Structure 1
């Protein structure tokens, strides 16, 4: 039993930190667990240079302007979040449309006419989604809406802190279900739900936070009403968490080397792809500008009904 408020393990940890040792004899590892949000991992994996500019460079480089498809997605998310602030019986299609109007933004659209056309389309999407999913059912109250989760997941030396903001957490049959809204051109498939590292991290962290099973993940494509589904098991969770740990550790190691005076271009090289077109730090990356052409901010919108 420890007495006098002194914990010898803390002394060992401090000694390890001072000498560069990790206290292996007592199993003390003073290095914190890697932290992983889906966005950080995706940025590191897709382009280390973009990761550096987004998370490490200070002052942060200026970003590009708004993209209309991002604006559209953000507004739909805001409307759905606000809808769940209402009493269940008030979550009607009309209410969803009114909330979309209240939160609407024209950033990134070509002109007022294009913005109005997409607003009308999005009002229809939300009305149908609200009715089809019976969001006014008081017995189906979600466990979380835009809930931030941050929990230690994984096992042994591959543990990490998975964190992020979950669009919606439903409870069904005693289990938690992670719901993620999508509004883009691509209609997600069950394979997309299976392969989504973000959903796997959210589910693992949600299960730990709520102390209940959370295996099912869903991608809800609001424009079409399609729902893509996958149920994780130990093997699929393990594969996602293992990869997340590897990526998070790589990013942490590179950041530590940079802080120690390492070469930023060697530690964080550009990784060009067609995605360079929409990269928000494109103006600071000659390799990215050479790899993919510039595009208009409305170029990646989903075609609404009646569009020419």
Structure 2
């Protein structure tokens, strides 16, 4: 007998006899949050109101400004898509939040403007993308997946997913192959635009390098299987909460070095005890030589 499901706490699917099962709505960020730390997932997607986040991070300010400038650059008339325009768009999108002081913010604004100048110099302003900041979606047997693609290019008869990166370390082909988000984007482009799409590219602006991977049906199926496994774990945790487990039991904290930069650290005693807090500018290349999360997307 088929079943229908209705949303419970945190998006849990409560089944009712007689109708098809409802798909679990998921984004790459939502799935990655639970895979990294169920408690962080609870703070972000289950608790209402959601606990306040900690202060903004400087490396995220860098990434956000670069992404915004590139989106706006492609929205300009073709004859205005110049390196100078890219720099001005970066200046307009810049936010000083998260930096140690105004001098540090200014240094990084100048540095990011240099990345953009070099990057757009290698672009053909007339090579119109199929989409920029394009929302795409796809379904599997159990998931309703969605995501926003930085850029979609036309290459011959196929479409290519392009993702901008501004972190300290250049991207690798293995990173492109293993990225769950990029796999979701490929599936979404295929389903939303109904065009062939297999190739994903990570454009690392600080180094001017491109990492890539050509997905196959098998590689995409592997990503889907892992995403569905995470969704199953989310449903189990949510059901445990419905059945009377405490919130901390149903969504345990996974502690470690990452607790130093977790947005929900102020609300998580376990994370506070695990490691000292990081300074909000400490993941900028000139300020820290240790490991960190990918900066700015």
TM-score by length of structure 2 reads 0.89
User: Which has the higher Rg, Structure 1 or Structure 2?
Assistant: 1
Aligned to 1:300: 283
Asked if the contact 1:93/1:126 (under 8 Å) is kept, the reply is: yes
Asked if the contact 1:215/1:233 (under 8 Å) is kept, the reply is: yes
Aligned to 1:224: 207
Q: Aligned partners of 1:244, 1:22: CA distance in 2, in Å?
A: 26
Taking the TM superposition and a 5 Å limit, the aligned residue runs for 1:210-221 are 210-221=193-204
Of the candidates 106, 111, 125, which is equivalent to residue 101 of structure 2? 111
Moved more, 119-128 or 288-297: 288-297
1:60 is the counterpart of 2:50: yes
1:81 is the counterpart of 2:68: no
1:238 is the counterpart of 2:225: no
Q: 1:292: Cα distance to partner? A: 2.0
Of the candidates 162, 173, 180, which is equivalent to residue 197 of structure 1? 180
Taking the TM superposition and a 5 Å limit, the aligned residue runs for 1:165-184 are 165-184=148-167
Q: Aligned partners of 2:221, 2:63: CA distance in 1, in Å?
A: 30
Asked if the contact 1:194/1:232 (under 8 Å) is kept, the reply is: yes
Aligned to 1:206: 189
Q: Aligned partners of 1:83, 1:168: CA distance in 2, in Å?
A: 12
Q: Secondary structure at the match of 1:184?
A: coil
Give structure 2 stretches of 5+ with no counterpart.
6-13, 288-297
Cα 1:287–1:14 shift into 2, 3 Å: closer
Asked if the contact 2:138/2:146 (under 8 Å) is kept, the reply is: yes
1:142 is the counterpart of 2:132: no
Q: Aligned partners of 1:14, 1:228: CA distance in 2, in Å?
A: 42
Say how many residue pairs are matched.
280
Aligned to 2:84: 94
1:280 is the counterpart of 2:263: yes
Deviations 1:255-275 (A, max 9, x none): 244245432111100001211
Q: Aligned partners of 1:148, 1:20: CA distance in 2, in Å?
A: 29
Aligned to 2:293: none
Asked if the contact 1:276/1:292 (under 8 Å) is kept, the reply is: yes
Q: Secondary structure at the match of 1:181?
A: strand
Q: Aligned partners of 2:136, 2:128: CA distance in 1, in Å?
A: 18
Q: Aligned partners of 2:229, 2:107: CA distance in 1, in Å?
A: 44
Cα 1:14–1:61 shift into 2, 3 Å: closer
Cα 1:14–1:93 shift into 2, 3 Å: closer
Deviations 1:110-169 (A, max 9, x none): 1111111001101100010001233x1x2x21111111112214xxxx442110111111
Which structure shows the higher strand fraction?
2
Q: Aligned partners of 1:303, 1:85: CA distance in 2, in Å?
A: 32
Q: Aligned partners of 1:37, 1:21: CA distance in 2, in Å?
A: 25
Asked if the contact 1:169/1:178 (under 8 Å) is kept, the reply is: yes
TM-score by length of structure 1 reads 0.86
